[in-house]
Each structure stands twice: as structure tokens, then as C-alpha cells.
A and B are shown apart, each in its own frame.
Chain A
Amino acid sequence: MYIYNEVDQRLVDDRVTQFRGQMQRFLDGRLSEDDFRPLRLQNGLYVQRQSPMLRVAIPYGTLSSPQLRQLAQIARTWDRGYGHFTTRSNIQFNWVRLHDVPDILASLATAQMHAIQTSGNCIRNITCDQFAGVAADEVFDPRPYCEIVRQWSTLAPEFLFLPRKFKIAFSGGEEDRAAVRFHDIGARARISDDGKPGFAIYIGGGLGRTPMLGQVLKEFLPRAELLNYFDAILRVYNRHGRRDNKYKARLKILVKDLTLAGFTRDVEAEWAYARGGPNTVSAESFAAMEAFFAGPGYAGKGADDAEYQAALQSNRAFARWVARNVAAHRQPGYGIVTLSLKKTGMPPGDATASQLDLAADLAERFSLGEIRVSHEQNLVLPHVHRSDLLALWAIAAANGLATPNIGLLTDVVCCPGGDFCSLANAKSIPVAQAIQERFDQLDYLFDLGPLELNISGCVNACGHHHIGHIGILGVDKNNEEWYQVTLGGREGNRAAIGKVIGPSFAAAQIPEVIEKLLAAYVATRHEGEIFIDTVERLGLAPFKTAVYGELHGPHH
């Protein structure tokens, strides 16, 4: 993992001092709400429905055990004892008090963390594949590049007041686990024909009000040019992105207006000046950064997993958990464990302070002190030896962190919604809970197989409903909360945006609607065909009919 140097530490310390002064002036009335708003947003501070909310960055989703404990401590000291993991690998504290925020930021800085640029019209937290560095299908580890881009983008002075927010994601695997085509910039690890590392660059993706799939801006960008090229993209966007209408201000609209060819031409022209310039990253810099992320020593653990094999045979609950929550590791004998934050009864992505502490302990005991946060709002222990899985499972299960539902229907991705967020049109958590309660039979869930359900409480799409196999969007109609259902969204290599199936529903109808969609799938699936593939094969028609009946079928 990356360790701050003196420069990094000074930056976060100076930032705390600066923000403490700004908060003081705001509380004194010397700084107006309008002048303060962009400052607080760039420090992660929102003013919400019930209380201010602080969003803390977890750069590329990587945490150490001490950092996770620090987050637990913050939850306990300044919040109501829990935190909420978001779909962009941040953690949100929903009950902070305004005047405490500088102290919270100071306490984050002691653990090499910050809340810089987790909101505002600037370059947001860099996200990444949660299995980076350990995935069996990895081209190369994207984290060193994420850290280089994190340093470049943090307080990048030219890009602090962009037309709108700007999101960057990196993916290192053959399979895209970072939804790169739904970001302003998505970078996928590639090896060139002559064996050099670099990235395929996707541009102009995003969800929200106008969902768009990112397009290829560059088939192969040599890694040395990463910052020069990103600088060129950002400058074109900063100068030419629309500022007259916030709903048309994202990069995706500029790319659409200029066309991909026009945008590419502008970026290439800008890059021509920067190419090989002072921000070119040297081989030595890459090597120094890669050293921070070099794999841990896996030696010392024998290949003996007889106990594990026996437990798989005799312990059905454990076997189910392994089937869903343990992914293939590049190192033989190891697994990647996902601790589910999707237990029925807990808001999706929420974790209590004691669960955070426990995850930190488990990471120290079983995963070399490292934790990842996934954009599906779960925690990941990336280096667990098979012989430790049973012990880990027992502890996690006793603490509500071992629901065997990763990638299943009840692994709901969900924004905080109308219970917390002032942008929301509708509540999202109760809808998620109603679905989790209705479908709590593991046999049924396992039979349904992989199925992603995403819920957003408004068009801003923090719950990424457009890329859920089933998506649910809360909408406001005459001050009533209604829910629109989409089908066919998907992330990964076959990324697609879901389509609305028809008129929206009241919250109480949603579990029944889901049930009908699932019944239609079960009735028509081929052997071994997962839900989304059936939807792709058949289109929406049979699902619309299942939900709305023949009369309101395909032509509604």
C-alpha cells in the first residue's frame, strides 16, 4: 500500500488548517453561504436533510487496518456509530456536526486520509477494480497508476473549478470490474504489441440524468504519457465544457456536442504540446510507485487445505459462502474474500463502528492488514489463505458480515435516498429492504444465480440503477414517491444501459414486480443462462408482459 511521504502529509495537514479557518469564518458570518459552499463541498461536506454529511475519500478503494479503525473511531466519536460506503469507494458519515468537521478532517489526516474533492466540480476520488493486484485475470496492477493520478489530481490548481464533477476509474483485469465505461475517463490496463504497459482510454461515460456509455478515445496510451494526456483532456473540458446549464455540463455532453472525432482532435492537439514534457512519468517513478504495491510475501503458508476441503463437504453454510463470497486469487492456495454489507435489515453499504473494527482485525489476522472497498458497497479482504477461510467465516458470520449473497439479488446496490439525501426524490433503503425481506430464501437466490439489482433515489443515479440488471429509480410525481423499473443494464466488458419497462410503481408494488420479472426469467431461461443473458436474448417484451399483462405489453 502507498505510504504518505512528507509532501503528502503536509498537503493534508495544510488543508485541515485552511478549512478550519474557512469554517470559522463561515460560523462567524464572515464568509457567505455562497462563497463557502464550493469550499465545503471540495472538503466532502454536504448540508443534508437532517444533518450535514461528510464524505471521506478511500482512494482506489484501498485501506489499511489502522485506517479502517480510524474510520470506526470517527463513526463512534462524531457520528451515530456507523458509516455508509458509497458506489464510488467513499465512506459517508451522515450525522456529523458542522463545527466538528475540521477536527474530523484532522483525525483523518493522522491516518493518511482526507475528504478532499469527494464533492464539487473537480476531479473526484479515483476508483479502481476492488481485486486490483490479486485478481487471477489481471493484465497488471492499476493501483500504482491510480496513486500517481491521485497525487496529480489532488488540488490540481487548474482543475478545481470545472464545469461539473469529473470521475476517473481504472481497471486492471481482463474483466472490467470498475465500470470504466461509466466514467468521464475510464482507463483499462493494456499491454502493447511490443510488450509495453499502457491504457485504453474511454471517454465521456456517465450515469445520472443522461446515461452514456464511454467511447474509446485512445486504443493505447503509453503509461509515461498518462498525466500529459489526462491534462490535455481536462484542459479541453475546462475551457470548452458548458457552464450555462448544470444538466449539460458533464464531459459526456461536450463529447456529444463536439462529436468524438472533434473532441479527439482537440485533445490530441493539446497533448501534442505536453507530450514528453515535465509531467511525463519516468520509468524510475513508476518503479518507485510499484514498489509500494508489490505483492506481500505469500510464503509461510503450506498448501495443506484438507480441513478446508472437508469443511466444504460437511458445512453447507460455509460452502455457500465460499461459492459466493470468495473469488479466485492469482496466488494458488489463496482467495479474495468479500465481506457482505448487504445483510437483510441493514441499509445496503452501511457498517457499524464495531463491524469496521472487526473487519480491521480480520484483515490483520487473515489478509496482511489490507482491506478493499468495492463499488458494490462491500468490503474485501484481498489475501486470505484457504486454510484460514473457515475461521474467518465463523467470525464474520457471528458479526453479520458473512451473508452469502455477493452478486446475487439481495446484494443490492443502493444510495442513501430520501431518508438522508436532500437531492433524492424518493426513499431507496426501504425498497431495498422490502426486496431483501421478500427474497430471503437462499435456495431460491442461489437458483436464480448472478443478478444485480441497483436502486437510486433520484436521477443523479448514485445507486447506478442504469447498470443494474434490474434497476429501480425513485421519481417524484405530484409529491408522491414512485419507482421506475429498468431492465438490461450491465457493467463489465459487455456494458449496457438499462431500458425502462413501462409506467412506474408505488413502493409497495416493487417486490411483486421483481417477483414477476424473476418468474418470467425462470420460465424462459436456458440451462445455465444467467438473468441478464436471458434479458439480452429475449428483449424486454416477455418481461413487460409478465409485469403489465398482455394488454400493456410490448406496445405500451
Chain B
Amino acid sequence: MARIIKNGEIVADPWCLLAPGAEALGTVTVIKPQLLLPLARWAQELELLEKAGYTVGVWLAPDDAPEALLPRLAQIPVIAIQFPSFTDGRGYSLARLLRQRYGFRGELRAFGDILRDQIYFLHQCGFNAFCLRPDQDIEAAVAALQDYSWSPVAGR
């Protein structure tokens, strides 16, 4: 099982992330009962999957509008935000919106091109879980959460 950082610790990741083009469930065997769906599929298949016994979270691409999640926000266990490249900063604003404006309190996960050198700033914006790029040293990344002993002005 893949390892991620969650709340400052290295843990096994129980979630299975489905790509937008992934085949419909039922035609493939999904071993994990915990699914992260892309936004469009989450909106369409959530109820069906929950009835079938899956636990369902959602993942957002950087240009997705998080407002689509609002009616069920308090029930969503995990929102994952994709970083196609670590230099694409849109996910930082999505995290801020979800945490500060909409009050999301579940797991907020960064995945994709996630490097130890950005992890401190991702955390400052409200991410509490990190699925790193495969070449990253996960222990070093945990340590990088302490890169600064100071906190930024904005959002303090």
C-alpha cells in the first residue's frame, strides 16, 4: 500500500484514486472500498457507490470550481487537489477557499507533482495530507513541514 503523509505522520493510504477516464465501476475490480472520484463522476455516481458500500471522496483538478461540493461538504471525508506541476499554484487557492471560506474540516490532500520543497507552504494553505511524487524521500518531506519556525501573515 502506498504511503502518504497525513497530519505530520507517514501512513498507509487506503484510498484508490480514479482517473477521469477510468472505466465504470462494475467492469473493473476495485479492491479498495475507499474511492476518490474526479468531480464530474463524484456528482453523478456518489449515491450509487455509497449504496454499494464504498466510501467516496473527491478529487479536484486545478480549474475545478469547489462550489459544486458545497451541498455535501460536511460529509466528504477526503478532498484531494491535483497538482499537474508543482509550479501550478491554483491548488493553493482552492485549499484556502475550502478551509477558510467554506469551512471544510476533513482531509485535504495534495497529490501529483508534490515535492518536499513546497510542502511547508501547502500545509500553510490548509493541506493536511500529501501524496508525494514517487521519487521523493517521504521522511525528508515530513521533516520539511518544520522548515520554518515562523508563520505567514496572510490567514494567520
**Residues of A at under 8 Å CB distance from B?**
7, 10-11, 14-15, 17-18, 22, 31, 35, 38-39, 121, 151-152, 154-162, 227, 231, 235, 238-239, 243, 273, 278-279
Q: Which of B77-133 contact A (CB under 8 A)?
A: 86-90, 92-94, 96, 101, 115, 117-118, 120-122, 124-125
Contacts A158-B154, A158-B155, A160-B121 supplied; 13 other A-B pairs, CB < 8 Å: A11-B148, A14-B150, A35-B86, A38-B86, A121-B87, A154-B152, A156-B153, A157-B121, A157-B154, A161-B92, A238-B92, A238-B93, A279-B155
Once the chains are docked, how many angstroms separate the CA of A551 from the CA of B155? Answer: 63
Assess A18 versus B147: contact at CB under 8 Å? Given A158-B96, A161-B89, A161-B92.
yes
B156 in the interface, Cβ–Cβ < 8 Å? yes
The answer to whether B125 touches A278, judged by C-beta atoms less than 8 angstroms apart, is: no
Q: How far is the CB of B33 from chain A (nearest CB, A)?
A: 34
A-B contact pairs, 15 of them (CB 8 A): A14-B147, A22-B117, A35-B117, A39-B117, A155-B152, A157-B92, A157-B122, A157-B154, A157-B155, A160-B121, A161-B86, A161-B92, A231-B154, A239-B94, A243-B90
Q: How far is the CA of A227 from the CA of B153 in the complex (A)?
A: 10
Shortest CB distance B29–A (Å): 36
Q: Is the CB of B90 within 8 A of A239?
A: yes
> Which listed residue, B89, B149, B150, B156, touches A160 by the CB 8 Å rule?
B89
Contact (Cβ within 8 A) B150 A227 = no
Give B94's nearest chain A residue, CB to CB. A239
Report the 3 A-B pairs with minimum CB-CB distance, sorted nearest first.
A161-B89, A157-B124, A157-B121
Chain A residues, Cβ within 8 Å of B155: 157-158, 278-279
- A14's partner among B89, B122, B149, B153 (CB-CB below 8 A) is B149
Residues of chain A within 8 A of B86, CB atoms compared: 35, 38, 161
Q: Are B150 and A11 in contact (CB under 8 A)?
A: yes
Knowing A10-B149, A14-B148, A18-B147, the reply to whether A155 touches B121 (Cβ < 8 A) is: yes
Residue with the highest number of chain A CB atoms closer than 10 Å, among B89, B125, B152: B89
A162-B117 contact given A156-B153, A227-B154, CB 8 Å threshold: no
Contacts of A160 in B (CB 8 A): 89, 92, 118, 121
Which residues of B lie under 8 Å from residue A10 when comparing CB positions?
148-150
Q: How far is the CA of A154 from the CA of B96 in the complex (A)?
A: 17
How far does the alpha carbon of A225 sit from the alpha carbon of B152 in the complex, in Å? Answer: 18
Residue positions of B touching A, CB distance < 8 A = 86-90, 92-94, 96, 101, 115, 117-118, 120-122, 124-125, 147-150, 152-156
CB distance from A160 to the nearest CB of B (A): 6
With a cutoff of 8 Å between Cβ atoms, the chain B residues found around residue A152 in the complex are 153-154
B152 interface neighbour in A15, A121, A157, A239, Cβ under 8 Å: A157
Assembly CA distance A144 to B149 (angstroms): 25
Q: Is the CB of A238 within 8 A of B89?
A: yes
Select from chain B the residue with minimum beta-carbon distance to A241. B90
A158, B115: Cβ atoms closer than 8 Å: no
The interface centre, meaning the residue of A7, A231, A243 with most chain B CB atoms within 10 A of its CB, is A243
- Residues A159 and B115 in contact in the complex (CB < 8 Å), given A14-B148, A151-B153, A227-B154: no
How many angstroms between the C-alpha atoms of A521 and B120 in the bound complex? 58
Chain B residues lying within 8 Å of A154, measured Cβ to Cβ, are: 152-153
Per the bound structure, the CA–CA distance linking A162 and B147 in Å amounts to: 22
Q: Bound state CA distance, A154 and B153, in angstroms?
A: 8
User: Are A159 and B117 touching (Cβ within 8 A)?
Assistant: no
Interchain CB contact (< 8 A) of B90 among A17, A121, A238, A279: A238
Question: Which chain B residue has the least Cβ–Cβ distance from A14?
Answer: B148
**Among the listed A35, A158, A279, which residue makes an inter-chain contact with B93, where contact means beta carbons less than 8 Å apart?**
A158
Contacts of B87 in A (CB 8 A): 38, 121, 161
> Hey, which chain A residues are within 8 Å of B120, CB to CB?
157
Distance (Å) between the CB of A120 and the closest chain B CB? 9
Closest to A22 in B: B117
CB distance from B108 to the nearest CB of A (A): 14
Assembly CA distance A243 to B63 (angstroms) = 11
Report the Cα distance A121→B90, complex, angstroms.
13
